Amino acid sequence: MSNIPDSLHPATWLPLLTTRYMGRGDNLVPEEATSTNTLLKEMAIAGAPAGSLCLSETQTAGKGRLGRSWHSPAGQGLWLSVLLRPCIRPEDAPLVTLCAALAMARAVEETTGLDARIKWPNDLVLCGKKLCGILLEIGFAANGIDYIIVGTGLNVGCSAYPTELAHQATSIQDHMAPPPRREILARYLSALEEIITRLEQDGFAALAEEYRTRSCTLGSLVKVSGSVEFTGVAEAIDENGALLVRDEQGNLRRVLAGDVSVRGVMGYV
Ligand code: BT5
């Protein structure tokens, strides 16, 4: 295992922050966490402010979507959760996944020059392999959204993923000497703050063009699996973050959830 000689101690990254509130709330940075999402969710329920985060060197029970697990070995990635309390309608909450993907794509590009693309809804891919996964957990109150936990698992070191996933996973170190993780973190937090503020003020339409530019899904042949299964061409993302896919019969179908494979990405040929 090759270790990345950088520290995630807040003293190393707090001075890099250019944010108003992201990373400036209650920060929990243990060496080891079960899941940073789970720990931050407890803090959210206990009243932690927006912008609080949980970041750990390793997770013993890192979570993916739908009960899947996320491999998070020590020192190999940015295993991070951020607490948001955005002023958006509950039905718009899934848009935050797209915002986080946009923010991480920007942070990766700004710190490495690598062109990570967004695979709808929650992956960042590099050269067709998964670089980062995103997991949103949402708590609702009687009058709307109480909290959103945005978990991101970014593979930085080349031992971030197990060898059996090598056909579909990648890391920054697979492509270049990685920058210190604190730099990626600081860029991600400022991008996320700017993007969420845009979403609150102007809606997803204000971000749609950049999203399209960074997407590897839009314009591609996709296979939708889940409760319904079909193939088609992904044409657009609507204002609620749903994917609009033109099926083989020419109908435009709205995909809100389910797994979407993109031709040429993560093993789908
Ligand atoms: C995701 O789920 O991609 C969301 C992953 C979110 C992880 C972060 S880490 C910080 C925060 N705290 C948490 O507990 N979670 C979040 P999904 O689309 O379901 O992908 C999961 C699948 O990706 C697994 O079933 C594996 O096939 C694969 N996988 C697991 N670990 C990986 C890794 N390190 N790199 C690439 N692929 C991985």
Question: For atom 3 of ligand 1, which residue has the closest CA?
Answer: 133
The answer to whether residue 235 is domain-embedded is yes
All residues at 6 or more sequence positions from 58 whose CB lies less than 8 Å from its CB, including other chains: 31, 32, 33, 72, 73, 74, 75, 79
All residues at 6 or more sequence positions from 117 whose CB lies less than 8 Å from its CB, including other chains: 105, 124, 125, 126, 214, 215, 216
* Sign of the four-CA dihedral 195, 199, 202, 208: positive
Query: Ligand 1: which of 34, 36, 54, 70 to mutate, most ligand atoms within 8 Å of CB?
Result: 70
- Tokens (6 digits) for 84: 């948001």
Question: For atom 28 of ligand 1, which residue has the closest CA?
Answer: 70
- Tokens (6 digits) for 173: 């170190």
Residues with CB under 6 A from ligand 1: 35-37, 59, 62-66, 68, 70-72, 79-81, 122-123, 130, 133-135, 151-153, 155, 160-161, 165, 169
Q: What domain range includes position 115?
A: 10-213
DSSP symbol at 63: B
What residues pair up with 183 in beta bridges, in sequence order? none
**Looking at the 3D structure of the chain, how many domains does it have?**
2
Specify whether 65 is located in the same domain as 140: yes
Q: Rounded distance, CA 189 to CA 134, Å?
A: 15
What is residue 73's three-state secondary structure? coil
CATH number of the domain encompassing residue 141: 3.30.930.10
Question: pLDDT-derived band of residue 262, with 50, 70 and 90 as boundaries?
Answer: confident
- 200-238 pLDDT tens trace: 999 999 999 999 999 999 999 999 998 889 999 999 988
DSSP symbol at 242: P
Specify whether 155 is located in the same domain as 87: yes
- At residue 238, the pLDDT reads 86
How far does the centroid of ligand 1 lie from the alpha carbon of residue 57, in Å?
15
Residue type, 211: Y
Q: Rounded distance, CA 21 to CA 34, Å?
A: 26
pTM for the structure as a whole: 0.95
Specify whether 170 is located in the same domain as 72: yes
Q: Is the pLDDT of residue 32 over 90?
A: yes
Q: Is the pLDDT of residue 185 over 80?
A: yes
Specify whether 69 is located in the same domain as 188: yes
